[in-house]
Chain A
Amino acid sequence: MSLLDVKNLKTSYGPVNVLAGVSFTVEPGETYALVGESGSGKTTVIRAIAGLAPAQDGSVKFDGREIRGASERELRPLRKDIAMMFQDPVGSLSPRLTIRSLITEPYRIQGMKDRDLDAEARRLLEMVNLPAHFADRYPYQLSGGQARRVGVARALALEPKLILADEPTAGLDVSVQGELLNLMNDLRERLGLAMVIITHNLNVVRHVADRMGIMYLGRLVEEGTTEAIFKEPRHPYTRCLLSANPEPDPDARLERIALKGEPPSLLRRPKGCEFRERCPFAQEFCSQTPQWEVENGHGLRCLAPLS
C-alpha cells in the first residue's frame, strides 16, 4: 500500500479551477518531485494534502486513511506524520520566538509534556548540523541557509513519515544549496522519510527525486522515474522545460525549444489539449482532448508524444 495516494484531486477558488484532477502516489521512503511553472498548481497540491487548502473533490489517502475534508480536530494527530516545509524560510519562522521555541513548538502543540524540550532542541539542531547555541537566537539573526535548516529541524521534530517541501532551495546560494540537498538526502536514508518536493529548479530534481510529475494548468501532463524523464521526455512541455535550463558553460550549444508565450488564464482553459497554443509540436488533431495513459510506469497526457 502506498504511503500517500492522491486521486483526482480538485480545487477551485470560485470560478478559478486551480486543480483539475491530480493523481499520484508516494511509497514509503520515496521522494517525489512536482515540477511546473508558476501557476501550475504545485503548491496547491501539497497544501490540499496537508489540509491547508480546500479540495472539493477527489481523494487523499494517507497510510490507507481518507484525509480529504477531515476536520481540524481529525487532522491534528495526523500532522505528527505529515510535516510541511514552507517556501519562505525566514517568513515561516515567527520573528518573536527563539529557535528553541520554534523547533519545539510541535511538541507543545501535540501536548507531549513528557519531553525535555532543551534536550530535544539540542538533538534537532545537531541533526541539521547547526551549533547548539543557535537555540537562543532569533530568526533575524540567521542567514537564509540557516533558516532553512531550522525549517528542516522543525519538520523533523515529530518524526514524520512524510515531508511536504515547497521550493526547499529557493533563494539559497549555490554553495549552500548543495548542503541542504545533501542533508535532505541523508535524513531520508537514515530516517526512511518519504518526501514530496515542489520546485521549478530541474537541476535540483535530478539529484533528489526518485520519480517526478510535471504539472501544467492544474493537471499532470507527464510522470515517470526521474531518470526516464531526463533521458527521454515524451511530452513537449517537459522537453521545453528541460531545454530552458541555462548551463554553466559558455560553449554549451543548447537545442533550445522555444516555448511560445505564457500559460493561459485558468478562467479560459483552451479546448482540446491545453498546451496546444504554446506547443511547438502541435498537430491538427491536438484540438481533441488527450487522455492520461500509462505505459511501463510512465504516464503521459499527449496526442502527439515525442519519441
Chain B
Amino acid sequence: MTDRLLEIDRLSVDYETARGDLKALRDISFDVRKGEIVGIVGESGCGKSTLISSILRLTAPNTRFRQGKVRFKGQDLLQLPERKMRDLRGADISIVFQDPMQTHNPVLSIGQQMLDIQHRSKASKADKRARAAQMLGAVGIPDPEARLDQFPHEFSGGMRQRIAIAMALMSEPDLLIADEPTTALDATLEVQIIERLQELQQEFDCAILFISHHLGVIAELCDRVVVMYAGAVVESGEVREIFHDPKHPYTRRLIDCDPGHIKERARVLPTIPGEVPDLANLPGGCIFRDRCDQATARCMSQVPPLAKLKEGHHAACWLNHKEAAE
C-alpha cells in the first residue's frame, strides 16, 4: 500500500453555474504509484482540466468538492490548510502546461526565472545558477550556461517546453503532472519530448501523470492508462490491456478512430457520432449510452459501476457484467 503516491478516491466535483450545478467530475477513482507513468486519455469536456486543478487545489471560485478524497502520500490534500498546500506545489508536485509559448515570463531571462523558483533553497546564488544550467543541460539545451541569460522569445517552442520540464523537475518532485505537453509541438519535437521525459523519469525516479488526447503518445510512454469520458472514468488498466483488449465501447471506438491505426487509404474514416452530454443536465444511466451502438435497456436506467474485471483492469460497462453472467 505504501507505494501509492497519489490516490484519487471517489472524487466528485461540481461547478455552480446559473444553469444549475455542472457535474464536472463524478466518482473518479484511480491511483498513481511511485515512479510510474500514468496516462489520462480523454476528449474535450471529459474533465481532465478539472481533475488537474482539483489535485493542485487551484480551482475556480465556483468549484464545489462534493465527495471524495485526493490523497498524496497518505494525506488528504482537500483537507490541507492552504499554507501547507503552497509548500507542496512546485516542490513535491509540479506541473508542465500545454502551451510552451505562454509558460514563461517574457520580460525576465530564463536564468532569472530558474533562480526565482529556487526560492525555498538556502544555496548561494552561484550554486542556484549552476543548478539551473545543469538542469538545462539535462533537458538537452546546448550551451546552457550562456543561454541562461537569454529571454523566452529567443527560444523555439520545443526548447521552451523542454525548459518548462527542466523547471518542473528542478525541485525533484515526487509527482510531475504533464498537461498535454506535446500538443502544441510538431511531431518531430513531440517524439524528442517523449523520449526526454522517459529518460528524466528514470533519472529522477518521479511519477508522471500524463494527460493527452494523443493515443499514440500514451501508448508509447505510459505504464497504465485511465480513460475519461464526460467527467467519469470509463476504463482503466495496464497500457497493453487498454490498447489490445479494451472493455469499454468508448475506449474501443476511440482507438478505432485514430487514423494512425489505418494503414491503407480509407475513403470513410470511423467516427463516434453524437456529442458529449450536457453535464448540467445529465441523462440517467450510462454516460455513454446515447453514442453507444451496443446500449441496452439496462444502460438507459442504471449507471454502470467501475468494476474490476481482472487484476489491473477496470471498466464501467454493463456489457462486461452480462459476459460474466453467461
Q: Which residue numbers of A lie inside 8 Å of B, CB to CB?
A: 37-38, 143-144, 173-179, 181-182, 185, 200-204, 206-207, 226-227, 240-241, 244-252, 256, 259, 262
User: Of residues B188, B192, B243, which shows the largest number of chain A Cβ atoms within 10 Å of its Cβ?
Assistant: B188
Q: Does B107 belong to the interface (CB within 8 Å)?
A: no
C-alpha spacing A206/B260, complex, angstroms? 9
Select one of A143, A202, A248 contacting B44, CB under 8 A: A143
Of B166-174, B200-208, B213-221, B307-315, the one touching chain A: B213-221
A38 touches B186 (CB 8 A): yes
Q: How far is B244's CA from A9's CA once the two chains are assembled, in angstroms?
A: 48
Q: A38-B157, A204-B259, A227-B265 known; A248 and B216 CB under 8 Å? A: yes
B257 touches A178 (CB 8 A): yes
Q: Is the CB of A143 within 8 A of B188?
A: no
A248 cross-chain contacts in B, Cβ below 8 A: 215-216, 218-219, 243, 255, 258, 260-261
CA distance A256 to B258 in the complex (A): 20
CB <8 Å contact, A179 and B271: yes
Partner of B240, one of A179, A206, A250: A250
Contacting pair A185 B268 (CB below 8 A): yes
Say yes or no: is B295 at the interface (Cβ < 8 Å to chain A).
Answer: no
Report the interface size for chain B: residues with CB under 8 A from the other chain: 46
Which of A207, A227, A247 is within 8 Å of B269, CB to CB? A207
Residue of A nearest to B225 (CB): A250
Chain B nearest CB: distance from A304 CB in Å? Answer: 20
The chain A residue sitting closest to B241, CB to CB, is A250
Say yes or no: A262-B268 contact (C-beta < 8 A), given A37-B188, A246-B220, A250-B220.
no
From A227, A247, A256, residue with most partner B Cβ within 10 Å: A247
A111 to B268, CA, bound (A): 37
Is B44 within 8 A of A246, CB to CB?
no
* A175/B254 in contact, CB under 8 A: yes
Bound CA span A248–B256, Å: 10
16 further contact pairs, Cβ within 8 A, besides A201-B187, A246-B216, A250-B239: A143-B275, A144-B44, A173-B44, A173-B213, A174-B258, A182-B268, A185-B267, A203-B258, A206-B262, A206-B263, A207-B259, A207-B269, A248-B216, A249-B261, A256-B191, A262-B189
- Which of the listed residues B44, B267, B269, B272 has the most CB atoms from chain A within 10 Å of its own CB? B269
Bitwise, B243-283 to A at CB < 8 A (1) or not (0) is 11000000001110111111101111111110100000000
Q: Contact check: which of A177, A182, A246 meets B191 at CB < 8 Å? A: A246
Residues on the A chain within 8 Å of B267, using CB:
185
Q: Which 8 A-B pairs have the closest CB atoms?
A: A246-B216, A178-B269, A248-B215, A173-B43, A175-B272, A203-B259, A178-B271, A244-B191
**CA of A178 to CA of B216, assembled, Å:** 16
B residues in contact with A259, CB < 8 Å = 188, 192
Complex: chain A residue closest to B271, CB-CB: A178
- Provided the pairs A246-B194, A248-B219 are in contact, do residues A200 and B186 lie with their beta carbons within 8 angstroms? yes
Whether the pair B156, A262 counts as a contact (CB closer than 8 A) is: yes
Given A207-B269, A262-B156; A249-B243 close (CB under 8 Å): yes
A37 partner residues in chain B, CB cutoff 8 A: 186, 188-189
B158 contacts chain A at the CB level, 8 A cutoff: yes
Distance between Cα atoms of A179 and B44 in the complex (Å): 16
| B-side contacts of A144, CB under 8 Å | 44
Q: Across the interface, which residues of A come within 8 angstroms of B44, CB to CB?
A: 143-144, 173
Residues of B within 8 Å of A206, CB to CB, are 259, 262-263, 265
Residue in A173, A226, A246 whose CB lies within 8 Å of B260: A246
Judged by a CB distance under 8 angstroms, whether B190 is at the interface is yes
Q: B159 near A: Cβ within 8 Å?
A: yes
A249 to B222, CA, bound (A): 11
Q: How far is the CA of A227 from the CA of B263 in the complex (A)?
A: 11
A207 to B159, CA, bound (A): 31
Question: Within 8 Å CB of A249, what residues of B?
Answer: 219, 243, 261
30 pairs, CB–CB < 8 Å, chain A vs chain B: A37-B188, A37-B189, A38-B186, A143-B275, A173-B43, A173-B44, A174-B258, A177-B259, A179-B271, A182-B271, A185-B268, A200-B186, A200-B187, A206-B265, A207-B265, A226-B265, A227-B265, A241-B188, A244-B187, A246-B191, A246-B194, A246-B216, A247-B216, A247-B219, A247-B220, A248-B215, A250-B240, A250-B243, A250-B244, A259-B188
